[in-house]
Homo-oligomer: A and B are copies of this chain.
Amino acid sequence: MIVTASAPGKTILFGEHFVVYGEPAIVIAIDRDVKVTAERRDDSNLHISSNLGFSGTFIGERFETEEGDGSEKTLEPIKITAETLFQTLKKKCGLNITIKSNIPIAVGLGSSGALAVATVAAIGRLLGANLTREEIVKLSFESEKYVHLNPSGIDQTISTYGGVIVYSKSEGISHMKIESSIPIVIGNTRIQRNTGRLVDSVRIRKETFPQLMTQLTQTAGQLTREAISVLKKGDLKQLGELMDINQGLLVSAGVSSEELDRLINVAKKGGALGAKLTGAGGGGCIIALSKIGKRKEIAEAIRTAGGIPLIAEKTDEGVTTWTS
Residues of A within 8 A of B (CB): 205, 208-209, 211-212, 215-216, 218-219, 222-223, 226, 238, 241-242, 244-254, 256-258, 261-262, 265-266, 269
Q: How far is the CA of A248 from the CA of B247 in the complex (A)?
A: 8
Establish whether residues B212 and A215, one from each chain, have CB atoms under 8 Å apart when the complex forms.
no
Chain B residues with Cβ below 8 Å from A223 are 212
Pick the contact of A249 from B208, B246, B248, B269 — CB < 8 Å?
Answer: B248
Pick the contact of A222 from B211, B244, B246 — CB < 8 Å?
Answer: B211
Chain B residues with Cβ below 8 Å from A258 are 265-266, 269
Establish whether residues A219 and B215, one from each chain, have CB atoms under 8 Å apart when the complex forms.
yes
Establish whether residues A248 and B245, one from each chain, have CB atoms under 8 Å apart when the complex forms.
no
Besides A211-B226, A244-B254, 8 other A-B contacts (C-beta < 8 A):
A209-B241, A209-B242, A209-B245, A216-B245, A247-B251, A248-B251, A248-B252, A258-B266
Establish whether residues B211 and A241, one from each chain, have CB atoms under 8 Å apart when the complex forms.
no
Q: How far is the CA of A216 from the CA of B257 in the complex (A)?
A: 22
Establish whether residues B245 and A252, one from each chain, have CB atoms under 8 Å apart when the complex forms.
yes
Q: Kindly name the residue among A212, A219, A242 whose own CB sees the greatest number of chain B CB atoms within 10 A.
A: A219
Minimum CB distance partner of A247 in chain B: B251
Q: How far is the CA of A216 from the CA of B245 in the complex (A)?
A: 10
Identical copies in the complex = 2
Q: How far is the CA of A49 from the CA of B302 in the complex (A)?
A: 49
Q: How far is the CA of A256 from the CA of B252 in the complex (A)?
A: 13
Establish whether residues B265 and A205, one from each chain, have CB atoms under 8 Å apart when the complex forms.
no
Chain B residues with Cβ below 8 Å from A209 are 226, 241-242, 245
Q: How far is the CA of A153 from the CA of B298 in the complex (A)?
A: 44
Given the known A-B contacts A248-B253, A261-B261, A265-B261, are A212 and B226 also in contact in the complex, defined by CB atoms under 8 Å?
A: yes
Q: How far is the CA of A246 from the CA of B248 in the complex (A)?
A: 9
CB distance from A5 to the nearest CB of B (A): 40
CB distance from A251 to the nearest CB of B (A): 3
Q: How far is the CA of A252 from the CA of B253 in the complex (A)?
A: 12
Q: Kindly name the residue among A222, A246, A266 whose own CB sees the greatest number of chain B CB atoms within 10 A.
A: A222
Given the known A-B contacts A250-B248, A252-B245, A258-B265, are A222 and B212 also in contact in the complex, defined by CB atoms under 8 Å?
A: yes
Pick the contact of A215 from B215, B241, B242, B254 — CB < 8 Å?
Answer: B215
Given the known A-B contacts A251-B248, A258-B269, are A219 and B226 also in contact in the complex, defined by CB atoms under 8 Å?
A: no
Minimum CB distance partner of A245 in chain B: B252
Establish whether residues B208 and A238, one from each chain, have CB atoms under 8 Å apart when the complex forms.
yes
Pick the contact of A219 from B216, B256, B262 — CB < 8 Å?
Answer: B216
CB distance from A301 to the nearest CB of B (A): 12
Q: How far is the CA of A60 from the CA of B218 in the complex (A)?
A: 61
Q: How far is the CA of A245 from the CA of B220 in the complex (A)?
A: 14
